[in-house]
Amino acid sequence: MITKTLIPARGGSKTIPRKNITEINGKPLIYYAIKASLDSDVDETWVSTDDDEIAEVSEKFGASVIKRPKEICDDIIMPDSALIHFSETHDFDNLVFIQPTSPLLDCKYINAGIEMIGEYDSVFSAYKEHWIPRWTLDREPDDWNIKSRPMRQEKEEKWVENGAVYITKRQDLLKTGLRYSGNIGILEMPIGRSFQIDTYEDLELIEKLVV
């Protein structure tokens, strides 16, 4: 069984310009995703990008690069399009999809997810969350009643998809066009490893956690 990793990394980013190569403790953000993959049991690590500088940085740290077509680089297009593009042009059995915005991902979670394929058709990483009172932006209770506020123990825990890693069979990805399908398994990660970088505040926090 051949397993390959794909890390989609567009050049454009509105919230943090050049986010994927913004430095965290002296290393570009994408380095951490590449390293996690290279340290894992995958056979090959690839970066899909439309950006020459990201391509150069990715190759410097040991990843192979596939040029991402401009038509699937818009910020409203889901990264699943890059996964499909890669799967249509490369031969393998299973695909590991890592987002470069998850620098706390450790290779042991990738390996654990790979081992789950077989029992499951696809896997995604998540953490468990206890119920907490959430409010809408209109200041209305979100799925609970202010007059009968429930206790945490009365509510079920829920899985929160952390966006760090997804693993799927190539044949299922090409058939469904989705990063997960069929019998879906959940790879549990601690919340302390689940932070993603979307804002400058996230960057400041992650810099304190990355070693």
pLDDT-derived band of residue 8, with 50, 70 and 90 as boundaries?
Answer: very high
**Sequence-distant (≥ 6) Cβ neighbours of residue 78 within 8 angstroms:** none
Convert the pLDDT of each residue in 94-118 to its tens digit: 999 999 999 999 999 999 999 999 9
Nearest Cα neighbor of 121 from 164, 177, 185, 175 is 185
44 occurs within a structural domain? yes
Structural domains in the chain (count): 1
In a domain, 59, yes or no: yes
Whether 139 maps to a domain, the answer reads: no
Distance CA 182, CA 159 (A): 18
Give every strand in the sheet of 94-98, ordered side by side.
64-67, 44-49, 3-8, 94-98, 158-169, 122-129, 184-188
185 lies in some domain: yes
Residue 184 lies in a domain: yes
154 assigned to some structural domain: no
Parent domain of 115: 3-126+160-209
**169 found inside a domain:** yes
Q: What does pLDDT average to over the chain?
A: 91
Q: Tell me the per-residue pLDDT of 64-97, one tens digit each, with 9 for 90 and over.
A: 999 987 766 556 556 788 999 999 999 999 999 9
**pLDDT at res. 168:** 97
3-state SS, one letter per residue, for 82-106 = HHHHHHHHCCCCEEEEECCCCCCCC
Q: What is the pLDDT of residue 11?
A: 80
| CATH code at position 69 | 3.90.550.10
pTM: 0.90
Q: CA 41, 93, 46, 80 torsion: positive or negative?
A: negative
Cα dihedral across residues 203, 163, 20, 18: positive or negative: negative
Mean pLDDT of 58-63: 97
Least confident of 8-12, 105-109, 135-139: 8-12
Q: Which pLDDT band holds residue 49 (cuts at 50, 70, 90)?
A: very high
The residues that are catalytic are: 149
Half-sphere exposure of 62 (CA within 13 A, CB side): 13
Residue 133: inside a domain: no
Contact 7, 32 (CB under 8 A): no
